[in-house]
DNA sequence: CTAAGTGCAAAGTCTTTGCAGCGCA
DNA sequence: TGCGCTGCAAAGACTTTGCACTTAG
């Protein structure tokens, strides 16, 4: 059985490799980013850390996200209302399914996407580098408890 | 040959139907939104109108976009960097192909999307209402003139 | 005529930045 | 020990809002 590095270890290693110091604040941020449970916002990350780390500053969260983004280890999901959510667990482009009621974000498995990229390249003559695919809807949970 | 309403007429009509006044400023904004050539930003719209309409205020552009959005007659495309672009020509969800060099936005024709929505619904048990699909790349033009 | 719309400027968000002090390597 | 990082507060970018004036219907 091959030992597999966790996302947390991978990101910390990459920070080290690029000459960045590993501070407690940074560790706390990477820990959350690496899991990205529910795809947290900056505020989510900030508040979560603030519990154990009362001096943590919002600026530090922002700075570290910019840094980790620049290393390609976190995916930023911006929405029209200006909110941003982060995914450091799967930092490569992949589809998201977003519940418009409870804001939960889920990752579906879709395989038809590669074909689509080719289709687009052929039709538009673009060299496609990247994509973003979101589905918006209502999750089974919120559907059930519709008041 | 059936007479087809232009997007401009449709939006103006919808404004009227909902009891909104048709002001010159509003006409100017709708004119640009209806065409949405290159998918303009708020600034684009503002500056374009400012030429013939020096008193036009940014606030008015924002207010009218909010209004037209609420009528479902313009699609707002928010990007991670915080910029927003608008499409009042095709105000329903559809894929976009964006050149990361010249910021041009093109609409490709893709037919495999409906299947994908069904696939997602089956897998996640969400009721999908909406989606957003963007491809990022480099257009043939920018590819050609790569320095 | 009169409620809706406009322009201006002020107030909000959210995010970034400058700077002094702190702490990891 | 030294440079990078943090925390704070101030500055920025973008968007919304309050208010008095204007105007479409």
What does the pLDDT look like over B37-91, one tens digit per residue? 989 999 999 999 999 899 999 999 999 999 999 999 999 998 877 789 999 999 9
The average pLDDT across B7-20 equals: 98
| Closest-CA residue to B33 (of B77, B79, B86, B84) | B86
Q: A75 in helix, strand or coil? A: strand
pLDDT band at A7 (very low <50, low <70, confident <90, very high): very high
Residue A3 has pLDDT above 70, yes or no: no
Q: B74 in helix, strand or coil? A: coil
Residue B113 has pLDDT above 60, yes or no: yes
The predicted-structure confidence for A17-49, as pLDDT tens digits, reads as follows: 999 999 999 999 999 999 999 899 999 999 999
Domains defined for chain A, CATH in brackets: 4-87 (1.10.10.10), 96-145 (3.30.1490.190)
Which nucleotide is the nearest neighbour of A56, by CA and C1'?
D7
Judged by CB atoms closer than 8 Å, whether chains meet at B84 and A79 is answered as no
- Give the other-Cβ count within 10 Å of A23's Cβ: 12
Judged by CB atoms closer than 8 Å, whether chains meet at B130 and A117 is answered as no
CB of A25 within 8 Å of a chain B CB? The answer is: no
Instruction: Give how far B3 is from chain A: nearest CA, Å.
Output: 30
Nearest-angstrom CA–CA distance, B66 and A76? 25
| Closest-CA residue to B116 (of B139, B89, B93) | B93
Q: Is B91 exposed, middle or buried (0-12, 13-18, 19+ CB in 10 A)?
A: buried
Residues of A in contact with B119 (CB under 8 A): 108, 110, 112
Q: Is A8 exposed, middle or buried (0-12, 13-18, 19+ CB in 10 A)?
A: middle
CB of A126 within 8 Å of a chain B CB? The answer is: yes
Residues of A in contact with B123 (CB under 8 A): 108-109
Give, as one character, the DSSP assignment of residue B76.
E
Strands B127-138, A127-138: pairing is antiparallel
pLDDT band at B104 (very low <50, low <70, confident <90, very high): confident
Q: What is the pLDDT of residue A76?
A: 93
Residue A56 has pLDDT above 70, yes or no: yes
Give me A110's structure tokens. Answer: 């879709």
- Give the other-Cβ count within 10 Å of A89's Cβ: 16
Judged by CB atoms closer than 8 Å, whether chains meet at B120 and A131 is answered as no
Q: What is the pLDDT of residue B23?
A: 98
Q: What is the pLDDT of residue B25?
A: 97
The predicted-structure confidence for A60-112, as pLDDT tens digits, reads as follows: 999 999 999 999 999 999 887 778 999 999 999 999 999 988 888 899 988 77
Question: Which is more confident, A30 or A5?
Answer: A30
CB of B77 within 8 Å of a chain A CB? The answer is: yes
- State pTM to two decimals: 0.86
Enumerate the nucleotides of strand C whose atoms come under 7 Å of any protein CB. Answer: 4-10, 14-18, 23-25
> How long, in residues, is chain A?
147
| Closest-CA residue to A123 (of B119, B35, B137) | B137
| A110 neighbors B116 (Cβ within 8 angstroms) | yes
CB of B120 within 8 Å of a chain A CB? The answer is: yes
Q: Nearest residue to nucleotide D9 when comparing alpha carbons to its C1'?
A: A59
Interface test with A, best of B72, B76, B87, B124 (most A CBs within 10 A): B124
């Amino acid at each position: 059985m091959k030992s597999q590095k966790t996302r947390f270890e991978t990101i910390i290693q990459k920070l080290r490799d690029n000459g960045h110091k590993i501070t407690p604040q940074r560790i706390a941020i990477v820990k959350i980013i690496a899991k990205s449970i529910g795809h947290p916002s900056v505020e989510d990350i900030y508040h979560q850390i603030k519990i154990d780390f009362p001096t943590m500053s919002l600026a530090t969260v922002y700075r570290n996200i910019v840094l980790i983004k620049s290393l390609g280890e976190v995916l930023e999901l911006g929405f029209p209302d200006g909110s941003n959510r982060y995914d450091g667990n799967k930092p490569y482009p992949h589809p998201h399914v977003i519940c418009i009621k409870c804001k939960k974000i889920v990752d579906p498995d879709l395989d038809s996407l590669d074909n689509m990229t080719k289709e687009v390249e052929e039709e538009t003559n673009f060299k496609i580098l990247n994509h973003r695919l979101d589905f918006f809807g209502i999750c089974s949970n919120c559907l059930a408890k519709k008041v």
